[in-house]
Amino acid sequence: MEKGMEKGMEKGMEKGRWITLAELVGEGVLTLKEAAKKAGMSEENFRKLASL
C-alpha cells in the first residue's frame, strides 16, 4: 500500500510540473520548446499532455 501511495504522489507531482510548465508557456515566460526540454519530452508530446 505504501508503494502505491508513493507512486501516486510521484505521478501527481509530475502532472503538477507539466501544468506549471504549460502555464508558463501560456503566459509567455517559456517557449513550448523550452518547456518540453525541461519536461524531458518532445514538443509534440508536451503539447498533447499539456493540452496546448
Question: Full-prediction pTM beyond 0.75?
Answer: no
Is 51's pLDDT higher than 90?
no
What is the span of the domain harbouring residue 16?
2-50
Q: How confident is the model at residue 52 (pLDDT cuts 50, 70, 90)?
A: low
| Residue 17 C-alpha from the chain's centroid | 4
Over residues 19-43, the pLDDT tens digits come to: 899 999 999 999 999 999 999 999 9
Rg (CA), the chain: 12
> How many domains does the chain divide into?
1
pLDDT at 40: 92
pLDDT at 28: 96
d(CA 6, CA 23): 26
pLDDT at 1: 81
Residue 35 CB: number of other CB atoms within 10 A? 25
